[in-house]
Amino acid sequence: MPHVHIAYHHKYMRPRDYGSKLLARRRKPKPKAAKPAARQSASAGRPDKNTATAKPGRGVPAPSTARQGRGVPARSAAKPEAGAAPTRPAPPQAANTAKKTLDRILSKAGFGSRTEATEWIRDGRVKVNGKPVKSIDAWVDPKRDKVTLDGAPVREGAKLYILLNKPKGYLTTYKDPEGRPTVYQLLKGVPGFVGTAGRLDMDTSGLLILTSDTAFADFITSPASHVPKTYLVKSSARLTDEQLAMLRKGLTLDDGPTRPAIVTRLRDSEKYTHFEITITEGRNRQVRRMVEALGAKVLKLVRVKIGGIELAGLGMGAWRELSRAEVRGLLDTPLAEPKS
């Protein structure tokens, strides 16, 4: 039997063609006037990208104008599409601006750094409304919730600014695992918790500021603030004028070059040099490492001045509160730039 080619008219489609055509019509209803245009090409029956997800009867514009909808900024005029993803609930800080995380509450109240507060929370030392909370992600309203640390209430009271004459042999930390003495053992009578604004190593004595004002502490310790700090140094060898000039100009240490410093020779003995140095950075053991870069060592190191506040008149191991004028002076102390 000879092969006969049968051409299908669009009115007599094969079942699979008819099914796809019908599916496309169900997805994209067309106005009556647009029916003749739908026969121009096979692609005319495919749903348009801009109208395929929209349901009829919701005020969706005709296909010819829907393609221009990408540039229309007025989204508020259109109703939300059916099936759209639900709006994510606001975080606690957006829903209630008074809420804060526990570590932030402890830090702002002057109990310690946020790192220390995190350890206290995980150790179960912090309670909210009488119940221990070990999650650092917990949000608390300090005005409504009762927060305690080791049973003591946590309240953000008046800011404290303490000046301590630190003796040699004391650590600048709250607790030492080895049981060595810390500066907090010298703060009897201080009416609240204060954190250290910078550190002095165990073998260094002199001025140390402690405060419950974390923003003030950050300002004092930040190298960007250029707050000058003055030290008296006794070196293990006699230093030449060229070596002191190297300190003034700046040295390159393992963590980068130092800024220029103000250096004044005080006196020399047979073996040692006593000098004064003012720096505007707070790197770990910076003065000691600068002297070691010259081939000597520091035998004695005393910090005698921070900004405009001096050590004179404060006994060893004693403390006093800074006045408001002294605090303002630290924030406004101009730096006397060293002459290179």
Answer for the pair 250, 259: CB distance below 8 angstroms, yes or no. Answer: yes
Question: What whole-number distance in Å separates Cα of residue 277 and Cα of residue 182?
Answer: 26
Active site residues: 201
Q: CB neighbours of 146 closer than 8 A, spacing ≥ 6?
A: 128, 129, 130, 153
Give pLDDT tens digits for 93-116.
444 457 888 888 887 776 767 778
Q: Indicate yes or no: pTM above 0.85.
A: no
Q: Of 178, 233, 197, nearest to 327 (Cα)?
A: 197
Pick the CATH number of 97-153 from 3.90.850.10, 3.40.50.620, 3.10.290.10, 2.40.50.140: 3.10.290.10
Assigned fold of 228-306: Alpha-Beta Plaits (3.30.70)
Give pLDDT tens digits for 259-300.
999 999 999 999 999 999 999 998 889 999 999 999 999 999
Rg (CA), the chain: 37
Give pLDDT tens digits for 56-100.
444 444 444 444 444 444 444 444 454 444 443 344 444 445 788
Mean pLDDT, all residues of the chain: 78
Axis-axis angle for helices 324-332, 214-221 (nearest 10):
40
Q: CB neighbours of 24 closer than 8 A, spacing ≥ 6?
A: 45, 46, 47
pLDDT at position 180: 95
Domain 161-222+321-332 and domain 228-306, same fold? Reply is yes
Give pLDDT tens digits for 148-188.
988 888 877 778 999 999 999 999 988 888 999 999 999 99
Q: Of 179, 211, 209, nearest to 192 (Cα)?
A: 211
In 3-state terms, what secondary structure has residue 183? helix
Local confidence band at 26 (pLDDT 50, 70, 90 cut-offs): low
Q: Give the start-to-end residue ranges of the domains of the chain.
A: 97-153, 161-222+321-332, 228-306
- Architecture category of domain 161-222+321-332 in CATH: 2-Layer Sandwich (3.30)
